[in-house]
């Protein structure tokens, strides 16, 4: 799946032509919104998720190596998930679950040198930690029976393929497909 995503991004980008917009010493900040389709699901109960909302920083650290340049950086993502499950037997049982997740991460990227004007095509990998604050409330016939609050920290990977398109030398938009922190993520990019 990851190979297909990266191949698709490369194939689409190679249909354009002109000059690369990622360089050594360049600084890039992105702000965007993502979708993590697996995180809103719990068994057969469909939940609602908001995010992740992502903010990243990246710096170009090499001249051309092979067919591209290497960038390194990191960021933070914030997500909110919730689901309710209800069952009726002799009484109505309801479980309301909420999670707030903060994910700091680092990542390295490889920006392909396709000689494409205003377009930057890249792929990368990263690691981070999901810091979850969970709240679970259990009701019988609308009366709160118990409430638990938990926090947990667990490692997370991040594999990504992306495209940035610059309207000016300092401003553009981006779209990323990936696995780990977000399945789809898009927003704005600022370079300086």
Task: For the domain covering 2-41+51-80+102-130+158-191, report its CATH number.
Answer: 2.40.160
Where along the chain do its domains lie? 2-41+51-80+102-130+158-191
Residue 178: CB partners within 8 Å, gap ≥ 6?
A: 5, 158, 159, 160, 161, 162, 184, 185
Please report, in tens digits, the pLDDT of each residue of the chain (192 residues total).
Answer: 555 444 544 444 443 333 447 899 999 999 999 887 655 444 445 566 778 999 999 999 999 999 999 999 999 999 988 877 778 777 788 888 888 999 999 999 999 998 888 999 999 999 999 999 989 888 888 888 888 999 999 999 999 999 999 999 899 999 999 998 888 999 999 999
């Amino acid at each position: 799946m990851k190979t297909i995503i990266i191949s698709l991004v490369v194939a689409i980008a190679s249909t354009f032509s002109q000059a690369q917009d990622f360089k050594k010493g360049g600084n890039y900040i992105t702000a965007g919104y993502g979708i993590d389709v697996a995180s809103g699901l719990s068994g057969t109960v469909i939940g609602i998720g908001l995010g992740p909302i992502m903010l990243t920083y990246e710096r170009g650290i090499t001249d051309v190596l092979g067919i591209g340049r290497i960038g390194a950086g990191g960021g933070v993502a914030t997500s909110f998930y919730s689901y309710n499950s209800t069952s009726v037997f002799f009484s109505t049982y309801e479980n309301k679950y909420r999670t707030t997740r903060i994910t700091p991460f680092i990542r390295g990227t490889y920006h392909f040198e396709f000689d494409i004007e205003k377009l930057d095509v890249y792929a990368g990998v990263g690691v981070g930690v999901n810091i979850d604050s969970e709240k679970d409330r259990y009701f019988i016939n609308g009366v709160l029976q118990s409430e638990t609050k938990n926090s947990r920290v667990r490692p997370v990977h991040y594999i990504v393929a992306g495209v940035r398109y610059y309207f000016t030398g300092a401003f553009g938009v981006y779209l990323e497909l990936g696995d780990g922190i977000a399945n789809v993520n898009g927003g704005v990019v600022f370079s300086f």
